[in-house]
Chains A and B, each alone.
Chain A
Amino acid sequence: DAGVIQSPRHEVTEMGQEVTLRCKLISGHNSLFWYRQTMMRGLELLIYFNNNVPIDDSGMPEDRFSAKMPNASFSTLKIQPSEPRDSAVYFCASSFSPPGGGGVDTQYFGPGTRLTVL
Chain B
Amino acid sequence: GQSLEQPSEVTAVEGAIVQINCTYQTSGFYGLSWYQQHDGGAPTFLSYNALDGLEETGRFSSFLSRSDSYGYLLLQELQMKDSASYFCAPEAMDSNYQLIWGAGTKLIIKP
Q: Which residues of A contact B (CB under 8 A)?
A: 33, 35, 42-45, 48, 55-56, 91, 93, 101, 103-104, 106-112
Partner of B98, one of A48, A91, A103, A109: A48
Which of chain B's residues 86-111 have a Cβ closer than 8 Å to chain A? Answer: 87, 91, 96-99, 101-104
Report whether A104 and B44 are in contact in the complex, using a CB–CB cutoff of 8 Å. Answer: no
Write out, one digit per residue, whether chain B residues 30-66 have a CB within 8 A of any chain A CB (1) or not (0). Answer: 1101000000011111001010000000000000000
A-B contact number at CB 8 A: 46
Partner of A109, one of B44, B91, B103: B44
Count of chain B residues with Cβ under 8 Å from any Cβ of A?
A: 20
The 10 residue pairs across chains A and B that have the minimum distance between CB atoms: A109-B42, A43-B101, A106-B45, A42-B103, A104-B31, A104-B91, A109-B43, A56-B96, A104-B48, A112-B42
Report whether B42 and A110 are in contact in the complex, using a CB–CB cutoff of 8 Å. Answer: yes
Report whether A45 and B98 are in contact in the complex, using a CB–CB cutoff of 8 Å. Answer: yes
User: Secondary structure of the B side of the interface?
Assistant: loop
Report whether A42 and B102 are in contact in the complex, using a CB–CB cutoff of 8 Å. Answer: yes
Closest to A56 in B: B96
Closest to A101 in B: B97
Question: Inside 8 A of A43's CB, which chain B residues have their CB?
Answer: 43, 87, 101, 104
**Cβ of A78 to closest chain B Cβ, rounded Å:** 21
Please, how many angstroms separate the alpha-carbon atoms of A110 and B43 in the complex?
9
Partner of A55, one of B44, B50, B87, B96: B96
Report whether A103 and B50 are in contact in the complex, using a CB–CB cutoff of 8 Å. Answer: yes
Report whether A42 and B45 are in contact in the complex, using a CB–CB cutoff of 8 Å. Answer: no
Report whether B103 and A104 are in contact in the complex, using a CB–CB cutoff of 8 Å. Answer: no
Closest to A110 in B: B42
Partner of A42, one of B91, B96, B101: B101
Question: Inside 8 A of B41's CB, which chain A residues have their CB?
Answer: 111
Closest to B50 in A: A103
Known: A48-B98, A56-B96, A111-B41. 7 other contacts (CB 8 A): A35-B101, A91-B42, A103-B30, A103-B31, A106-B33, A106-B48, A107-B99
